[in-house]
Amino acid sequence: MEFVQRTKIQMRYGDLDALGHVNNAVFLTYYELGRTNYVRDFLGGFVSTDVKFVVNHAEVDFRSPIHFEDSPEILTWISKVGNTSCIFSHEIKSETDGKLFSSGKTVIVWIDNNFKKVPIEHEIRKKLQTLLIKDD
């Protein structure tokens, strides 16, 4: 897939829970890392004070635990573009054998200064549509 951003995840001991695998809440942090790198690589980056979008919804399907010695990477792509939002799809896989650790989606909504939904700016929406990869 041409417009998929791949990020190798640096495992941190603090990501682990008492059972020795990555805590479930950390998966959303990994998804955030994938989205941030996606925006940098395919959309030219952003200045944090100029951000006009927020995460409106997030979902994670846990497939297999990630342990400290695993070599996970996050794959991120845009799977839907709407009028006021877009959906980022994510997979965390083993870099060595392709084992799927999780899959999920985050819905990003564009907002105004009063935190009300607004249409995505035309040029940004056009760019997002060129990057679109529909999920099967």
Q: Is the pLDDT confidence value at 135 over 90?
A: no
Specify the pLDDT at position 129: 94
Q: Is the pLDDT confidence value at 104 over 70?
A: yes
Q: Which is more confident, 122 or 48? A: 122
In sequence order, the β-bridge partners of residue 55 are 108
* Residue range 75-93: mean pLDDT, rounded: 97
| pLDDT tens figures, 17-51 | 999 999 999 999 999 999 999 999 998 877 666 77
Q: Is the pLDDT confidence value at 5 over 90?
A: yes
Report how far residue 60's alpha carbon sits from residue 19's, in angstroms, rounded to the nearest whole number.
Answer: 19
Q: Is the pLDDT confidence value at 136 over 90?
A: no
Domain locations along the chain: 5-131
Q: Which CATH superfamily is domain 5-131 in?
A: Hotdog Thioesterase (3.10.129.10)
The proportion of the chain whose per-residue pLDDT surpasses 90, expressed as a percent, equals: 85
* Mean of pLDDT over the chain: 93
Pick the closest to residue 61 from 23, 90, 18 (CA basis).
90
Q: Is the pLDDT confidence value at 125 over 70?
A: yes
- Supply the pTM of this predicted model: 0.92
